Amino acid sequence: MEDFEKRLLELGRELSFNQQKEADAVKEYTVQLSMIMQVINELPTEYEEWREPLEKLAAATEEKISDELNHERSLLEEYVNLTGIKIAEE
């Protein structure tokens, strides 16, 4: 039984690792979104035709952030369910 419990914790560690990767992706996509918004806000009038493609890119990036947050939450729930370690309630 001890080996099985060890394997569960190893699997939990992997879930936690993957959750962190999702969080890292959120950070990077947030930087990307900030850059896109800066370009939109500083868009010269002679490049106005770029506004729509940039706004679409911003929306797509927001969707990616939303997806990553969903994956992160799912991995956290899976970790809690697998290990039985509950999130502290303050």
Q: Tens of pLDDT along 12-44?
A: 999 999 999 999 999 999 999 999 999 999 999
- pLDDT confidence of residue 90: 83
Query: Which residue in the block uniquely carries the two structure tokens 């800066």?
Result: 38
Kindly indicate the confidence band of residue 1, based on its pLDDT and cuts at 50, 70 and 90.
low
Neighbours of 75 (CB within 10 A): 20
CA distance linking residue 8 with residue 56, whole number of Å = 42
The answer to the question of residue 90 being in a domain is: no
Among the listed residues 7, 51, 65, 58, the one whose alpha carbon sits nearest the alpha carbon of residue 34: 58
Neighbours of 36 (CB within 10 A): 19
Q: Tens of pLDDT along 57-70?
A: 999 999 999 999 99
Which pair of structure tokens corresponds to residue 35?
């850059």
Domain that holds residue 9: 2-83
Which has the minimum average pLDDT: 39-43, 51-55, 66-70, 80-84? 80-84
The answer to the question of residue 49 being in a domain is: yes
The answer to the question of residue 62 being in a domain is: yes
Which pair of structure tokens corresponds to residue 85?
């370690």
> Alpha-carbon Rg of the chain, whole angstroms?
20
The answer to the question of residue 64 being in a domain is: yes
Split into its structural domains, the chain has a count of 1
CA distance linking residue 11 with residue 71, whole number of Å = 17
